[in-house]
């Protein structure tokens, strides 16, 4: 897929399927929505199966038995997209956890299915993370926020993930009180530096504008620190319904440019592809890491 003209190339690399139990619409409908909004490439990233129910079961994620169906749905969407000029990639939203046994089991799934793109999410609102916090007696907000970002810092070195979804998710969903990221600049910058060092991206997640503190993930100040650190970006709407595909992308591009970025990336077969924000020249085949 090499673009030889200067046509703008846009992509949305975070969306779900009904298999997770809390998203709506056939993948084909997401493709149609992308086409209507002029988006050239989308990546499905439904929630990965997790054997341990502490990561949520019903209405949180598909089971391992659903994976063949997931692949089939994405393949059908890809065929549909081919006629409309929308490329469709096969990704997954994986979990980030300090629970090494859970990570080992998840890795078997990730290895077996050869996803184009692996997002890493620390869903702190799930019982798995809340339990680890209690076990380690991390009870005040400062300790929890520090732990959240240092868990991501460690995860960046594993090579398991291509990008971290909604990297400041800890700002919403009530595990801690709302906070100003500037209070945690050191630990957040350590995470961004670790991601940059290992060639792992962070995601600009536009669903932040629809919930919580109604701000993009990550917050604009974190985006500017990421630009200073040389951390690359991916972008995703985190759509759980077709209408959300590409939501608020214009606003996101403006913020990303203001923060000092010159490009946004997507992944195909685990390879990082960079698209320039300014002239939209497409560079194929840049190696991740
Ligand atoms: Zn979801
Ligand atoms: Zn998601």
Ligand 2 centre and the CA of 6: distance in Å? 31
- Specify the number of domains making up the chain: 1
Tell me how crowded residue 139 is: count the other CB atoms within 10 A of its CB: 9
What Å distances lie between residue 162 and 41, 198, 202, 280, CA to CA? 17, 10, 8, 22
**Contact by Cβ (8 Å): 24, 61:** no
How far, in Å, from the CA of 135 to the mean position of ligand 2?
27
Give the Å distance between the CA of 258 and the centre of ligand 2: 25
| 4 inside domain | no
* Cα of 237 from ligand 2 centre, angstroms: 8
Residue 2 lies in a domain: no
Quote the DSSP letter at residue 260.
T
Q: What is the pLDDT of residue 129?
A: 95
DSSP 8-state assignment for residue 276 = E
Spacing, Cα 205 to ligand 2 middle (Å) = 9
pLDDT recorded at residue 7: 58
The pTM assigned to this predicted structure is: 0.92
Which listed ligand is nearest to 17 at the C-alpha? 1
Running DSSP on this structure, what letter comes out for residue 55? G
CA 281 to ligand 1 centroid distance, Å: 32
Tell how far the Cα of 174 is from the centroid of ligand 2, in angstroms. 18
Cis before 218 (ω within 30): yes
CA of 45 to the centre of ligand 1 (A): 9
Q: Alpha carbon 128 to chain centroid distance?
A: 19
The answer to whether the beta carbons of residues 288 and 199 sit under 8 Å apart is yes
**What CATH number is associated with residue 241?**
3.20.20.140
* DSSP 8-class letter at 49: P
CA of 43 to the centre of ligand 2 (A): 11
Ligand with smallest separation from the Cα of 119? 2
pLDDT of the chain along its 289 residues, tens only?
Answer: 444 444 568 999 999 999 999 999 999 999 999 999 989 999 999 999 999 999 997 789 999 999 999 999 999 999 999 999 999 999 999 999 999 999 999 999 999 999 999 999 999 999 999 999 999 999 999 999 999 999 999 999 999 999 999 999 999 998 999 999 999 999 999 999 999 999 999 999 999 888 877 888 999 999 999 999 999 999 999 999 999 999 999 889 889 999 999 999 999 999 999 998 874 333 333 333 3
126 in any annotated domain: yes
For residue 22, give the ligand nearest its CA. Answer: 1
Ligand nearest to the CA of 237: 2
Q: Indicate whether 209 belongs to any domain.
A: yes
The alpha carbon of 208 and the centre of ligand 1 are apart by a number of angstroms equal to 13
| Closest ligand, as measured to the CA of 93 | 2
pLDDT at 250: 87
Q: Is residue 5 part of a domain?
A: no
Q: How far does residue 207's CA lie from ligand 2's centre (Å)?
A: 9
Q: Is residue 190 part of a domain?
A: yes
Distance 16 CA to ligand 1 centre (A): 7
- Alpha carbon 46 to chain centroid, angstroms: 10
* Domain of residue 137, residue span: 11-286
Of 43, 34, 45, 44, the residue nearest 85 (C-alpha): 34
Q: Which ligand is nearest to the CA of 207?
A: 2
Whole-number pLDDT of residue 280 = 39
1 within domain boundaries: no
Question: SS3 of 120, please?
Answer: strand
CA 251 to chain centre: 18
Cα 134 to ligand 2 centre (Å)? 26
């Amino acid at each position: 897929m090499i673009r030889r003209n200067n046509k703008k190339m846009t992509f949305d690399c975070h969306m779900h399927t009904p298999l997770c139990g809390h998203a709506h619409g056939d993948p084909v409908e997401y493709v149609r929505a992308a086409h209507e909004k002029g988006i050239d490439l989308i990546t499905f990233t439904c929630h990965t199966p997790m054997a341990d129910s502490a990561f949520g079961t019903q209405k949180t994620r598909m089971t391992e038995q659903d994976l063949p169906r997931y692949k089939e749905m994405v393949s059908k969407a890809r065929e549909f997209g081919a006629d409309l000029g929308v490329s469709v990639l096969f990704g997954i939203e994986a979990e980030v956890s300090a629970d090494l046994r859970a990570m080992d089991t998840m890795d078997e799934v990730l290895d077996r299915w050869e996803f184009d793109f692996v997002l890493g999410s620390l869903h702190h609102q799930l019982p798995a993370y809340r339990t680890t916090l209690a076990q380690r007696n991390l009870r005040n907000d400062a300790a929890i926020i520090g732990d959240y970002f240092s868990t991501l810092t460690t995860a960046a070195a594993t090579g398991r993930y291509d990008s971290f979804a909604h990297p400041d998710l800890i700002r919403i969903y009530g595990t801690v009180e709302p906070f100003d990221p500037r209070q945690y600049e050191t630990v957040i910058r350590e995470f961004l530096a670790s991601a940059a060092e290992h060639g792992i991206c962070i995601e600009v997640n536009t669903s932040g504008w629809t919930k919580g503190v109604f701000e993009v993930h990550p917050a604009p100040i974190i985006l500017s620190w990421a630009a200073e650190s040389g951390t690359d970006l991916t972008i995703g709407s985190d759509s759980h319904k077709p209408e959300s595909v590409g939501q608020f992308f214009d606003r996101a591009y403006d913020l990303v440019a203001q923060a000092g970025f010159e490009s946004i990336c997507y992944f195909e077969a685990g390879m990082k592809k960079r698209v320039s924000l300014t002239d939209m020249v497409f560079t194929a085949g840049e190696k991740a890491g």
